[in-house]
Structure 1
Amino acid sequence: MKYQELRHKYPKFIYEKFEYEIVNGDLEIKFFYSIPPDHHFTHKINLSPNPSPKLGEGNQRGEVLPTLDNLIFHMGLSLMPSYWKSTCSPVIEIRAGNLSASQISFWEKLFLKGMGEYFYKNQIDFTEKDFLALSAFKTSPHPSPRLGEGEEGEVFKKIWGNNKVLVPVGGGKDSIVTLELLKPHYNVIPFLVDPVPLMLNVCKTASLSPFILTSTIDPHLHELNSLGYLNGHVPITATHSFEALLAAQITECKYITFSNERSSDEGNTEYLDHTINHQYSKSLEFETDFNQYLLFLNSHISYFSFLRPLYEIQITKIFSRYPQYFKIFSSCNTNFKLDPKSHPKGLWCQHCPKCVSTAMMLACFIGKDKVSEIMGSYPPDLPENISIMDDLLGKNPVKPFECVLTRAEANAAFTGKGLDRILSSWQDNPNMPKEFEDILKSQYLTPSVPLS
């Protein structure tokens, strides 16, 4: 279906409400959305607070529960793109809670920049007048209540006066590096969203107990996809950021440390005079915006990307020191496809941009033979991957829509030219506390495993 037809037929998307209950210490949440008059969706989320005390036990009932409504409301906001994208409705009406004009501006920007790949691939003109308008059913002249204000303030100071760090883990090399570098200094809690075996294996190898969130997409969305409604990439790291905020609250973590890198700031292509970035919600721009938004919600949790100062290939250099993960990690996204039949026989499909990108970088530090042993082949040398190599090296105008290295990194890894300059570079992350910066600097200066 053409997007203009869908926008005309379905002019409004509504975030109706949310509900939650505590069942056997787990938090079960339901979010309700609609696209009148035909479509209704229920998105379900379950959080298992392990290793923290179960919700509703001891003092946690009085200290944590009063803050849940606002955090859950915002988690529901972050899930909206996954359902809105089916019709690209020009109006988004929020009935589930209050937002100020400043908060609405944050969400409008996230939609317009975070959905860039979706607009590009569906050839949607998102620059047209009145393309998107968000409205809150109960628009407030003031932001939604800040967590920890009033009588709760002293409680929150106590909760977050600790060294707990929540680290989102996806099973790839970046989050492994964050876990390993922070473990000696902090009480680290891995945060897993819809975990697959490789994510659990990473936590087991790191000897850390994870906090797990599972989500269930309404099957009606898949029905719409099969009927030809719109589909495409959403800014998933934005959703994970709001999910992590709730998880940090429950587990009483002072810090949320993502593993997004400097490479994520590079766009993939230009469209309608705008840069389209598959990794927008991993970028420094979004991280900074999220930190500003956090002021509306909570002044105690510190949110940042620990690896932001480094390029992807620099992180790979650090990862090469941890051979215990070589046979259990994977950056190949086929592991996360909804249809299990689409999963690779091993951990690597060997024929996607992620496999090629990871192999190129890792070979710089452990050699091609070792990479072949890990992946089953050396993907950059496979004839069927020539077009992927051209895309990564910048020979074609569009960089692959995946979380891959920059074009400069790809050329340096492939030719060796300019590699030393990239490996010695550093970009400060203004959102990161100095003690974390010092840890990363001290570890990055440690020599990597020699080539073999």
Structure 2
Amino acid sequence: MTTMLQSARSRVLDDLGLDASSSFTWTGVEREGNEVSLHWDLDGVGRLTERLVFHGVSLDGTGVRRTAIDRSLRLLHLVAGVSYLKTTLPPDLRTGPISPAVRDLLAAITTDGLAELAWDHDVDLRGHFTFPEPATAPEAAVPIGATAGPLVPIGGGKDSIVTLDAVADHEPTLFAVNPRGPILRTFEAAGHPTVTVDRHLDPELFALNDRGAVNGHVPVTAIVSAIAVVAAVAGGHSAVLLSNERSADQATVVTDDGRAINHQWSKSSAFERAFARIVADEVAPDVTYLSLLRPASELWIARRFSELGSWDTVFNSCNRAFHLQGQRREWCGHCPKCRFVFLALAPFMGRDRVVGILGRDLLDDPDQVDDYAALAGLTDHKPFECVGEAEESAAALASLAADPDWADDAVVAALADRLPVGPDALESFLATPDTSALPAPWDQVL
């Protein structure tokens, strides 16, 4: 462990009034009907329990379905532990027997998945955690006879709506964890069956945070993906179709010593490949996990969304839109997500339409020039948010700078001469995605 990390952990443990917290143990999974309890033990704190309640699907499977459900719950248990072990960063992680692939996945989750948290706390987690030696070989996955249509996680934004539109003829079931606001509006507008999960974090996690525990970004998409796989196995769904695009592979920042820190790591193709392989090899080979939009650029998705036309008042990508215990707020207009969505849609929508969606013209706000410069790669790094590639933002701004309808907007005018590309760069992001690497039938739906 580095001296800096030792110092950071010592400070946290002192703040919590704990002795050296050396281990974190995955202690078990309990299920009663559709309610699941995940248990861990954090040295110096004691038992921590997360509770999940599934709606719209039954976990009371039998035979091979029961076996696959149990294995999917075990995978969820392993992945979800990251929310709790981050509080004191204990180096000794005790999982019980796991396969080499699962061990590698957990090693990535606790390094790449916690890289942003480590960046925020000025520590390096590489080599910090130790795991038990993996089992010699995983138990073989069991086919469950999956025949139901795909399970499509819905986040409330434009991307999952584009996926939903593409697979509308494949009898999709919509999925969400703790659905609120725009997710519920999407459910209602789509009219497809739904599966939802109530996720209840252990209250002790919030108490530890209040007392000064290590807190920050966790790879939540990895956790939601694991929950979705449980639901897919239980419901016999042939696929879990996410909506993560190729921009999720771009690092948010690369440090001087070569660490690639990616806010969207659990949406990346690296995570997707590793997780999909474990689902196929160790859970159920006939449940496919993939992102339908992986080959697509954000700008291609934005154009596709703009052509749908009927979702303008339904979707919302702003992470600040639903605070204050569920009280509804609209787009805040001051966060990286709002800025990027406005910019991505602007080349394909008239001003009135895009302003009607977000409430005002963000590109005509002089106070947001520096923030748009960060999106376009003109500063040290992109914002730590789920936004497109810097090159995409630069291309979108360049196209608007050549458009008389947008050229005089304060942000566009201020950045036009600083952009590294011209207006023609937009076209390179609008080519039809190459879906040949997607498995059938999903290679055809876009």
Q: In structure 1, what is the Cα distance between the partners aligned to 2:265 and 2:59? A: 34
Q: In structure 1, what is the Cα distance between the partners aligned to 2:59 and 2:115? A: 38
* Alignment correspondent of 1:197: 181
Q: Deviations over 1:380-428 (max 9, x none)?
A: 3223322321210112112111110111110111111200111126344
Contact preservation (8 Å) 2:151, 2:241: yes
Following superposition of structure 1 onto structure 2, how do residues 236-385 of structure 1 map, counting pairs within 5 Å? 236-271=220-255, 272-294=257-279, 295-335=281-321, 337=323, 339-340=324-325, 345-346=329-330, 348-385=331-368
Q: Displacement, 1:375?
A: 1.2
Structure 1: any 5+ residue segments left out of the alignment? 441-452
State the secondary structure of the residue aligned to 1:304.
strand
Q: Displacement, 1:188?
A: 0.2
Contact preservation (8 Å) 2:159, 2:243: yes
* Alignment correspondent of 1:36: 43
* Alignment correspondent of 2:166: 181
State the secondary structure of the residue aligned to 1:20.
strand
* Alignment correspondent of 1:445: none
* Alignment correspondent of 1:91: 92
Q: Identity over aligned residues, as a percent?
A: 28
Contact preservation (8 Å) 2:176, 2:197: yes
**One of 140, 143, 167 as aligned partner of 1:146:** 140
Contact preservation (8 Å) 1:19, 1:29: yes
Residues 1:55 and 1:106: Cα distance change in structure 2 (over 3 Å): closer
* Alignment correspondent of 2:27: 16
Q: Displacement, 1:228?
A: 1.4
Letter in 1 for 2:347: C
Q: Deviations over 1:124-144 (max 9, x none)?
A: 1223xx4111227xx53221x
Q: Deviations over 1:131-175 (max 9, x none)?
A: 111227xx53221x3342xxxx5xx2xx32x35111000110000
* Alignment correspondent of 1:423: 430
State the secondary structure of the residue aligned to 1:220.
helix
Q: In structure 2, what is the Cα distance between the partners aligned to 1:280 and 1:376? A: 31
Q: Displacement, 1:309?
A: 0.9
Contact preservation (8 Å) 2:321, 2:329: no
Q: Displacement, 1:64?
A: 3.1
Q: Displacement, 1:55?
A: 4.7
State the secondary structure of the residue aligned to 1:142.
coil
Contact preservation (8 Å) 2:54, 2:196: yes
* Alignment correspondent of 2:16: none
Q: Displacement, 1:117?
A: 0.7
State the secondary structure of the residue aligned to 2:388.
coil
* Alignment correspondent of 1:116: 115
* Alignment correspondent of 1:399: 382
* Alignment correspondent of 1:450: none
Residues 1:381 and 1:34: Cα distance change in structure 2 (over 3 Å): farther
Residues 1:336 and 1:134: Cα distance change in structure 2 (over 3 Å): farther
State the secondary structure of the residue aligned to 1:16.
strand
Q: In structure 1, what is the Cα distance between the partners aligned to 2:304 and 2:341? A: 13
Q: In structure 1, what is the Cα distance between the partners aligned to 2:99 and 2:53? A: 28
Contact preservation (8 Å) 2:59, 2:69: no
Shifted more, 353-362 versus 201-210: the winner is: 201-210
Contact preservation (8 Å) 1:167, 1:190: yes
Residues 1:334 and 1:306: Cα distance change in structure 2 (over 3 Å): same
Q: In structure 1, what is the Cα distance between the partners aligned to 2:148 and 2:46? A: 45
Q: In structure 1, what is the Cα distance between the partners aligned to 2:356 and 2:206? A: 38
Q: Deviations over 1:95-121 (max 9, x none)?
A: 4xx313342122112221111111111
Q: Deviations over 1:4-32 (max 9, x none)?
A: 3158811111111111110xxxx101111
Q: In structure 2, what is the Cα distance between the partners aligned to 1:167 and 1:260? A: 12
Q: In structure 2, what is the Cα distance between the partners aligned to 1:146 and 1:246? A: 17
| Runs of 4+, deviation exceeding 4 Å | 60-63
Contact preservation (8 Å) 2:82, 2:109: no
Q: Displacement, 1:2?
A: 5.0
* Alignment correspondent of 2:54: 47
State the secondary structure of the residue aligned to 2:320.
helix
Contact preservation (8 Å) 1:55, 1:61: no
Letter in 1 for 2:105: F
Contact preservation (8 Å) 1:351, 1:384: no
Aligned residue pair count: 409
Q: In structure 2, what is the Cα distance between the partners aligned to 1:210 and 1:265? A: 29
State the secondary structure of the residue aligned to 2:321.
helix
Q: In structure 1, what is the Cα distance between the partners aligned to 2:74 and 2:148? A: 27
Residues 1:318 and 1:167: Cα distance change in structure 2 (over 3 Å): same
Q: Displacement, 1:314?
A: 0.6
Q: Displacement, 1:204?
A: 1.2
Q: In structure 2, what is the Cα distance between the partners aligned to 1:88 and 1:74? A: 21
Q: In structure 2, what is the Cα distance between the partners aligned to 1:39 and 1:350? A: 42
Letter in 2 for 1:310: A
* Alignment correspondent of 2:443: 437
Q: Displacement, 1:282?
A: 0.8
Q: Displacement, 1:68?
A: 2.5
Letter in 1 for 2:232: A
Q: TM-score, normalised by structure 1?
A: 0.86
Contact preservation (8 Å) 1:264, 1:283: yes
Following superposition of structure 1 onto structure 2, how do residues 149-164 of structure 1 map, counting pairs within 5 Å? 153=143, 156=144, 159-160=145-146, 162=147, 164=149
State the secondary structure of the residue aligned to 1:243.
helix
**One of 4, 13, 37 as aligned partner of 2:9:** 4
Q: Displacement, 1:291?
A: 2.1
C-alpha RMSD of matched pairs (Å): 2.0
Q: TM-score, normalised by structure 2?
A: 0.87
Shifted more, 32-41 versus 285-294: the winner is: 32-41
Q: Displacement, 1:33?
A: 1.6
State the secondary structure of the residue aligned to 1:13.
strand
